[in-house]
Amino acid sequence: MYLLTDRPPQLETPLKIFREDLTPNEYFFVRWHLAQVLTKIDIDTFKLYIGGAVDKPLALSMNDLKTQFAPDSIIALAICSGNSRSTFNPKVPGGQWGNGAMGNAKWKGVKLKDILAKAGVKKGAFDVTFQGMDRAPLPATPAFIKSLSINHAMDDEVMIAYEMNGQPLPMLNGYPLKLVVPGWYATYWVGSLNSVNVLTDTFHGFWMTKAYQVPKDGSLNEKPDSLAKATVPITNINLHSIFVEPEPTDTVIANKQRLVEGLAFDDGTGIKKVELSFDAGKTWVETKLNPELGKYSWRRWKYDWTPTNKGAYHILVKATDNKGRTQTSKQWNRSGYARGFMEQLDITVN
């Protein structure tokens, strides 16, 4: 793992780990916002509190969650909004992530809508907030609280997970409970979750109105000398594709077949095709897609390449989704969020 910061913990996954369809728990990226992260939790006394505009406030133990509700599972990609931020030009502030601030896992837990139904959501409910047990060292730092609309919270996909790849959530990845919001960036995937609150109005907390903002026009694009005046919270995962192998330092031999492999992902719309270009985008060849693992999982693509000449190659990759949307060649915004511009692999053939 690559350490970006230790307070709060931020750890990036090495690219080679992405050759596996499910990211091992011990290599899953780590992203916290507040420095005081729990290192020990007594699971026997732990409670998940459901309150606010509900008929019956709840205090649920882990045993309650596992025995009073039907279990659910989903394979879904968790990806930091700032994944690949280091590739933006001009550079922007924030953690300089490569492509490793993401991970694909099988999550098991309870549908949020089932928990809210047990509590009884009152008429007029509008937003639902989520807070974990991490805390800031200074009292002036805003608590990390995220929100979803009541309609989103009550859909059939949002989950409170207690397992990750068949094991309890690792402490660094949000033990004992993590909010899973398939198709949305992981800023909403609140770890060490212990508080869910139903509101009758819009939530106006710092992490929803000041942080994690993108241009309101949906372009995810700005210019350094012309920043968007109107912004909204980031939500859906932007269409993108990356190379997994070969890596830039790998040895590639002329006239010898070499596997070129990578991953494509989006908000659940679905990947229609992934193409490569070996001539700066003049022509494109289609790769072979592996079967889907689930609509919210990444999709693996492969291409058998036999370079005929020695020298430097600059390979482009672009994905197209089921709505016909494809990747752009350029993108920039002030926060380095939601990279969607095409990736280029620079490699030398010997």
Which tens digit of pLDDT belongs to each residue from 132-160? 999 999 999 999 999 999 999 999 999 99
Specify the residue for token string 């990578």.
262
- Please, which residues bridge with residue 51 across strands? 197
| 226 occurs within a structural domain | no
Query: Which pLDDT score, from 0 to 100, does residue 147 have?
Result: 98
Query: Which pLDDT score, from 0 to 100, does residue 128 have?
Result: 98
Which tens digit of pLDDT belongs to each residue from 255-294? 999 999 999 999 999 999 999 999 999 999 999 999 999 9
Question: Which CATH number fits the domain that encloses residue 29?
Answer: 3.90.420.10
Phi, psi of 292 (to 5 degrees): -65, 140
Last residue of a domain, one of 211, 232, 251: 211
**150 and 36 fall within a common domain:** yes
pLDDT above 70: percentage of residues in the chain: 100
- Please, which residues bridge with residue 160 across strands? 110, 179
Report the distance separating Cα 213 and Cα 201, nearest Å: 20
Residue 21, C-beta contacts closer than 8 angstroms, at least 6 positions apart: 104, 293, 297, 300
Query: Which pLDDT score, from 0 to 100, does residue 200 have?
Result: 98
Three-state DSSP at 198 gives strand
| 231 occurs within a structural domain | no
| 221 occurs within a structural domain | no
Query: Which pLDDT score, from 0 to 100, does residue 139 have?
Result: 92
Residue 342, C-beta contacts closer than 8 angstroms, at least 6 positions apart: 241, 316, 317, 318, 327, 328, 329
Question: How many of the other CB atoms lie within 10 Å of CB of 343?
Answer: 19
Last residue of a domain, one of 211, 227, 255: 211
**131 and 80 fall within a common domain:** yes
Note the pTM of the prediction, 2 decimals.
0.97
Report the distance separating Cα 314 and Cα 303, nearest Å: 15
Query: Which pLDDT score, from 0 to 100, does residue 126 have?
Result: 98
Three-state DSSP at 302 gives strand
| 218 occurs within a structural domain | no
CA–CA distance from 124 to each of 53, 145, 147, 197, 204 (Å)? Answer: 8, 21, 16, 14, 17
| 27 occurs within a structural domain | yes
Structurally, the chain folds into a number of domains equal to 2
**199 and 253 fall within a common domain:** no
- Please, which residues bridge with residue 45 across strands? none
**32 and 177 fall within a common domain:** yes
- Please, which residues bridge with residue 148 across strands? 128
| 177 occurs within a structural domain | yes
**49 and 160 fall within a common domain:** yes
Q: What mean pLDDT, rounded, does the chain reach?
A: 97
Which tens digit of pLDDT belongs to each residue from 186-232? 999 999 999 999 999 999 999 999 999 999 999 999 999 999 999 99
Query: Which pLDDT score, from 0 to 100, does residue 199 have?
Result: 98
Q: Which domain holds residue 29?
A: 2-211
Phi, psi of 268 (to 5 degrees): 110, -5
Give the pairing of strands 102-111 and 288-289. unpaired
| 164 occurs within a structural domain | yes
End-to-end CA distance of the chain: 30
| 222 occurs within a structural domain | no
**184 and 313 fall within a common domain:** no
Query: Which pLDDT score, from 0 to 100, does residue 184 have?
Result: 98
Mean pLDDT of 81-94: 97
Helices within the chain (DSSP H only): 62-67, 112-119, 150-153, 206-209
**317 and 273 fall within a common domain:** yes
**185 and 266 fall within a common domain:** no
Q: Is 323 exposed, middle or buried (0-12, 13-18, 19+ CB in 10 A)?
A: exposed
**58 and 175 fall within a common domain:** yes
Specify the residue for token string 């919001």.
181
**153 and 52 fall within a common domain:** yes
Dihedral sign for Cα atoms in the order 103, 79, 36, 129: negative
Cβ atoms 216, 231 nearer than 8 A: yes
**258 and 322 fall within a common domain:** yes
Q: Order the strands of the 30-31 sheet from edge to edge.
A: 2-6, 9-12, 30-31
For residue 335, give both structure tokens. 């926060």
Which tens digit of pLDDT belongs to each residue from 27-63? 999 999 999 998 999 999 999 999 999 999 999 999 9
**12 and 155 fall within a common domain:** yes
